[in-house]
Amino acid sequence: MSRAGSGATGSAVSESSIDNARLTAGTIRVVSNAPDSVRVVAYSGSDPLDLDPAVMQVLPYFDGRPTRGALAAVEKKLGLRVEEDLLRKLADFEILVPPGREPAS
């Protein structure tokens, strides 16, 4: 995640897959919260992920609309640019999931 205007973007997800994706925030549990890190678990209680607190502010913008639109809203309203490699990581950990999809158990 970077501040808008810094020019930092990832390239782990192709432009076409980003344009076609629709994601929503999955079910997560916060297990610890510090000023510089939030530890969450999603699909597996034994596989925690430490996130920058700014990521928690971004999650509500992923509401099933096209991901490109969610990213634009995040940049406009929060001044943050979500890097594509972070999107992939959030999807891998089922922090972001396709709409209507039940998390894996």
pLDDT in tens, 25-81: 999 999 999 999 999 998 767 789 999 999 999 999 999 999 999 999 999 999 999
CB 51 within 8 A of CB 40: yes
- Residues in Cβ contact with 39 at an 8 Å cutoff, skipping those fewer than 6 apart: 30, 31, 32, 33, 48, 49, 50, 51
CA angle (90 as vertex; 78, 98 as ends), nearest 5: 95
| Verdict on whether the full-model pTM lies above 0.85 | no
CB 102 within 8 A of CB 58: no
pLDDT value of residue 21: 85
